[in-house]
Amino acid sequence: MRIAVVDIGTNSTRLLLADVGADNSVTELARRSEVTRLGAGVDSSGMLSEAAMDRVFATLDQYSALIEQLGGADKRRAVLTSATRDAANGGEFTDQVAERYELDARAIAGEQEAQLSFLGATSGRDPGDGSRIVVVDIGGGSTELIIGHGRTVGFHVSTQLGVVRQSERHLAHDPPSAREIAELGDEIDEVLAAAVPEGEREHVKSIIAVAGTATSMAAIDLKLEPYDPAAVHGYNVSLERCREIAERMASMPQSERREIAGLHPDRAPTILAGSQILVHVIEAFGLGGVEVSEHDILYGVALDAASNP
């Protein structure tokens, strides 16, 4: 079955067009990502701006044309996450997405976002693996942490940690001051301590991180030019290297971050907050590094769409 999935997040709008087999195999036909910054200003204003919505619509125009160019799709799903959930006009925006692009568009709750991210991240793994893992999905407005084993979720939480949200709250200077970085770290630690009980953390053996921050960290470590998803998927970044990259991001202005090998220039404004969140998550679970996965919520939604009417 051919499935088109659009993920309209706080920072980026992404597309996956794939054939999903009866054995739950996923064969990618097209994958795209554009930084559209839908959530810019939502943390303070509570509204999606017209400019931000127009950026998403322009990207969806391109994605819709690409889907048709490649022969269409049996099902077309769109999931809208943190920024749309938080905004007073999020429902109206979701309706416009559905009507304009003939998408089954839904603003999903953090709980469902977590479940779909876990499904995607574990899709290529042995379902009988009993080791306890945490899947971390760092987005623009929220971070989901999902603990489980095999295909079974045991604990999940959606937090108000996001690369756009925390950048707007804490990083006023370019480059940021040491105090700003310290305050950002303090908030991350406070949120994680409140969100994930110690009893849930202590038996976790490994971390799988999905989405733009994690894939960017891997690409930076590998110095990838151009970006290569095959090299990034399954790549392990040590905690030490994550700390080094985060410190490097914090020491330079955005103009210099835009030139870093492996980092898409459009992610230069948010990678600083993202790298800090990832480091603090690894530390919170007492682990030595993170596995990066290209199989994220896009895969989860595609598998869910193929298996459910």
Token code pair at residue 177 = 């001051």
Where are the chain's structural domains?
2-111, 125-292
Task: Return the minimum-mean-pLDDT range out of 41-45, 91-95, 173-177.
Answer: 41-45
Q: Are 187 and 282 in contact (CB under 8 A)?
A: no
pLDDT in tens, 202-234: 899 999 999 999 999 999 999 999 999 999 999
Strands (E), 108-223: 133-138, 143-149, 152-159, 206-210
Average pLDDT, whole number, for the chain? 94
CATH number of 125-292: 3.30.420.150
Q: How far apart are CA 218 and CA 235, in angstroms?
A: 7
Architecture of domain 2-111: 2-Layer Sandwich (3.30)
pLDDT in tens, 18-53: 999 988 899 999 999 999 999 999 888 999 999 999
Assign 250 a pLDDT band (cuts: 50, 70, 90): very high
Domains 2-111 and 125-292 share a fold: yes
In the DSSP assignment, the letter for residue 177 is: P
User: If DSSP codes are grouped into helix, strand and coil, which group holds residue 197?
Assistant: coil
| Residue 15: other Cβ atoms inside 10 A | 22
Token code pair at residue 219 = 């690409």
For strands 206-210 and 143-149, give the pairing.
Answer: unpaired
